[in-house]
Amino acid sequence: MSKRESDAAIIEDPESWVDHYGDFLYRFALSRVKDPAVAEDLVQETFLAALRAREGFKGRSAGRTWLIAILKHKIVDYIRKKFREPPTDKIETLIDIMDADFNDSGKWQVRPHKWAINPGKIYEQKEFFDVLYHCLAELPGRLAEAFMLREMDGLSTAEVCKALDITATNSWVMLYRARMSLRRCLENKWLGEE
């Protein structure tokens, strides 16, 4: 049986999920939320969401990747609730802030800093992930959703459009705004160094 077939077989059999993926999901959750009880709850919520979405799995990614993607959404939801960061759905506010990124002639108003990270070793930068998840939780809901579907779940742009019922042009604009906001948020909260 190939790896993919065996993954599909495991996903078909939810009773085996705890043994196959439980510890990994738990550790992943714990690396973001610190509290063991919360981490366990997040794993449970992930399994519940996965149960409901299992039809859509179809073995196109590794089972673990699929479950981790669901877990990442749950982690962002959790942070948003915990820190009472209601996703402002006022995209207009965001556009105002975005306009402040550039001056009238389209030059950088606040110049992007050099980030103190090694792109190849980004995984080792724990704080980067902590800040990233907080920044995601602060984004307007729809933008965060578009970003997460595209970048965390790795959906194609066409799939993102279908999931959010938006046009392709709209998706490029939303993803651009999400990336710019996250870039700025990360720069403000942690990474900037001149």
Binding region for another protein (CB under 8 A): 14-15, 17-19, 22-24, 26-28, 30-31, 40, 43-44, 47-48, 51-52, 64-65, 68, 72, 101-102, 105-108, 111-115, 117, 119, 122-124, 128-129, 132, 147-148, 150-152, 154, 157, 168, 171-172, 175-176, 179-180, 182-183, 186-187
Between 8 and 43, CB nearer to another protein? 43
CB-CB contact of 4 with 57 (8 Å):
no
Half-sphere exposure of 54 (CA within 13 A, CB side): 16
Q: Give the separation between CA 176 and CA 182, rounded to whole angstroms.
A: 10
CB-CB contact of 169 with 184 (8 Å):
no
Q: Nearest approach, Cβ of 30 to another protein (angstroms)?
A: 6
CB-CB contact of 133 with 76 (8 Å):
yes
List of residues 6+ apart from 108 with CB closer than 8 A: 101, 102
Q: Nearest approach, Cβ of 96 to another protein (angstroms)?
A: 15
Identify the helix (H) or strand (E) that includes residue 63: helix 63-82
Between 84 and 114, CB nearer to another protein? 114
Between 31 and 93, CB nearer to another protein? 31
Between 20 and 85, CB nearer to another protein? 20
**Neighbour-count burial of 13, counting CB atoms closer than 10 A to its CB (0-12 exposed, 13-18 middle, 19+ buried):** exposed
Between 18 and 163, CB nearer to another protein? 18
Q: What token pair was written down for 25?
A: 């999901």
Q: What token pair was written down for 5?
A: 């077939």
Q: Nearest approach, Cβ of 102 to another protein (angstroms)?
A: 4
